[in-house]
């Protein structure tokens, strides 16, 4: 089949890879000059199968209300005259119950396991190097109350088959000795040894290169303008060159929409409404002055809700979320405060370890759904259109598996996981071989 993939982030490129594996003729379109230049560019770097709780839980509305007025709060909701934002917010509230949380976690654990297995196979097959560290993720707490809540959370996740261990302060420091200077403030932690970290941009760009070597065509610097449709089918994708302005209609047997937060606008004219809303996040990447004193285990700092990952001789600090539309500027007072707070916190945790004089700041829009579960499956309005979008906080974690699963669905096969795919995709079968003992 001829297949056009719209979007070359981790999700689009992974999908392209698995479609090529099945012998399809693949064209990938993106408005940027290379892969992974938007949300997949400088994220928290965590392959976080075991820390996958969605934002929506029974306590979330109270926490969000408490944070509303703080410029440096982990989650900032800026109400706008935007019906999509309000619809998303209301839908989010419906997920803030214990039963919805349990249901959503179950799905995210399934997708995470499947994706981790897919990633490991893909890396073994291709040998892609991307500053991968298989050292687990350590979540540490700087208040006793938060630690106790974290221990309860670990128990809940263990019920879902996740190996999340509760550690006292000494055990935390044994897992990551680089935290020693901050040790007196640590009350304990939780640790998931099977999680890992690595650079999503490097991985995606190298995978795109391998796709090109296997025959994929990449149409860079092209805006996707619209989908042409007739009789329940997509008949073409209208694109325009950013360099020449020239428009063309790409014709294929099937189309994959993997444009993250921009996917709903593309599908709206078909009458298909997706609850994906951008949640702006930030990262700072610092050069290490003393690499031997820097952490290698990927960290979650509960006090600030930030991730810290080692990427070779650099450290990445990422986090915070703002529900405030599609703005990707870095120079507003809020953005400046949020970026500065990442570096300030790193210096509190690891004094003198990194060069804080020239931080590389970045912002990206997490394509967030109220459940944190992505749309993977067939469009409800066009039978040759497939969706792979809405991966929220976990698109790097779920990238390989989402691409793999969609390619399987498109081939008429059920991926080996118990997951509620979108549309009338095939029912999935339980993932027996990878289920924990």
Ligand X SMILES: Cc1cc2nc3c(=O)[nH]c(=O)nc-3n(C[C@H](O)[C@H](O)[C@H](O)COP(=O)(O)OP(=O)(O)OC[C@H]3O[C@@H](n4cnc5c(N)ncnc54)[C@H](O)[C@@H]3O)c2cc1C
Residues of the shown chain interacting with ligand X in the complex, contacts defined by CB under 6 A: 7-12, 29-32, 36-40, 43-46, 48, 223-224, 258-260, 262, 281-283, 307, 318, 364, 366-367, 389, 391-397
Q: Which residues contact 430 (CB under 8 A, 6 or more apart)?
A: 417, 418
Q: Is 245 left (phi over 0), alpha (psi -120 to 50) or beta?
A: left
Alpha carbon 180 to its chain centroid, in Å, reads: 30
Nearest-approach distance from CB 273 to ligand X, in angstroms: 17
CA–CA distance, 332 with 300 (Å, rounded to integer): 26
Nearest-approach distance from CB 396 to ligand X, in angstroms: 3
For ligand X, which is the closer residue by CB, 37 or 270?
Answer: 37
The answer to whether 240 touches 225, Cβ cutoff 8 Å, is yes
For ligand X, which is the closer residue by CB, 173 or 276?
Answer: 276
For ligand X, which is the closer residue by CB, 45 or 166?
Answer: 45
Could you tell me which of 118, 213, 199 has the C-alpha nearest to residue 403? 118
Nearest-approach distance from CB 41 to ligand X, in angstroms: 7
For ligand X, which is the closer residue by CB, 317 or 382?
Answer: 317
For ligand X, which is the closer residue by CB, 169 or 302?
Answer: 302
For ligand X, which is the closer residue by CB, 255 or 396?
Answer: 396
Could you tell me which of 76, 74, 92 has the C-alpha nearest to residue 84? 92
The answer to whether 314 touches 202, Cβ cutoff 8 Å, is no
Nearest-approach distance from CB 62 to ligand X, in angstroms: 24
Nearest-approach distance from CB 383 to ligand X, in angstroms: 23
The answer to whether 248 touches 239, Cβ cutoff 8 Å, is yes
Q: Cα(first)–Cα(last) distance of the chain, in Å?
A: 40
Nearest-approach distance from CB 251 to ligand X, in angstroms: 17
For ligand X, which is the closer residue by CB, 37 or 212?
Answer: 37
Nearest-approach distance from CB 313 to ligand X, in angstroms: 19
Nearest-approach distance from CB 194 to ligand X, in angstroms: 15
CA–CA distance, 132 with 29 (Å, rounded to integer): 27
Task: Say how many residues make up the chain.
Answer: 437
CA–CA distance, 310 with 291 (Å, rounded to integer): 9
* Crossing angle for the helix pair 200-213 and 10-21, to the nearest 10 degrees: 30
For ligand X, which is the closer residue by CB, 118 or 173?
Answer: 118
Could you tell me which of 46, 115, 54 has the C-alpha nearest to residue 283? 46
Eight-class DSSP state of 416: S
Retrieve residue 435's tokens: 């289920």
């Amino acid at each position: 089949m001829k297949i056009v993939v719209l979007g070359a982030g981790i999700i689009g490129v992974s999908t392209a890879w698995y479609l090529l594996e099945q012998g399809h003729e693949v064209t990938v379109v993106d408005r940027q000059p290379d892969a992974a230049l938007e949300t997949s560019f400088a994220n928290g770097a965590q392959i976080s199968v075991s820390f996958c709780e969605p934002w929506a839980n029974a306590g979330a509305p109270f926490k969000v209300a408490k944070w509303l007025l703080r410029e440096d709060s982990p989650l900032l909701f800026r109400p706008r005259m935007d019906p999509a934002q309000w619809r998303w917010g209301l839908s989010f509230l419906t997920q803030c119950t214990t039963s919805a949380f349990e249901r959503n976690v179950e799905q995210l654990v399934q997708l995470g396991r499947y994706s981790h297995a897919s990633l490991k196979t893909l890396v073994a097959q291709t040998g892609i190097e991307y500053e991968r560290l298989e050292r687990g993720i350590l979540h540490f707490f700087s208040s006793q109350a938060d630690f106790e809540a974290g221990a309860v959370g670990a128990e809940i996740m263990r019920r879902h088959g996740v190996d999340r261990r509760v550690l006292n302060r000494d055990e935390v420091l044994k897992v990551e000795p680089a935290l020693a200077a901050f040790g007196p403030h640590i009350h304990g932690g939780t640790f998931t040894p099977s999680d890992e970290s690595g650079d999503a941009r490097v991985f995606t760009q190298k995978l795109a290169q391998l796709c090109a070597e296997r025959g994929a065509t990449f149409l860079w610097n092209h805006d996707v303008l619209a989908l042409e449709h007739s009789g329940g089918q997509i008949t073409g994708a209208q694109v325009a060159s950013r360099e020449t302005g020239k428009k063309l209609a790409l014709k294929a047997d099937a189309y994959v929409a993997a444009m993250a937060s921009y996917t709903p606008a593309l599908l709206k004219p078909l009458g298909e409404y997706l609850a994906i809303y951008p949640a702006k996040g930030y990262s700072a990447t610092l050069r290490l002055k003393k690499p031997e004193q820097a952490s290698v285990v990927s960290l979650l700092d509960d006090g600030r809700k930030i991730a810290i990952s080692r990427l070779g001789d650099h450290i990445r600090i990422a986090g915070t979320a703002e529900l405030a539309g599609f703005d990707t500027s870095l120079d507003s007072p809020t953005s400046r405060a949020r970026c500065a707070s990442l570096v300030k916190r790193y210096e509190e945790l690891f004094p003198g370890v990194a060069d804080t004089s020239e931080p590389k700041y970045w912002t990206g829009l997490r394509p967030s759904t109220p459940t944190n579960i992505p749309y993977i499956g067939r469009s409800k309005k066009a039978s040759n259109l497939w969706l792979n979008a809405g991966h929220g906080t976990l698109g790097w974690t779920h990238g390989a598996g989402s691409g793999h699963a969609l390619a399987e669905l498109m081939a008429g096969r059920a991926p080996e996981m118990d997951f509620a795919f979108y549309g009338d995709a095939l029912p999935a079968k339980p993932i027996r071989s990878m289920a924990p003992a």
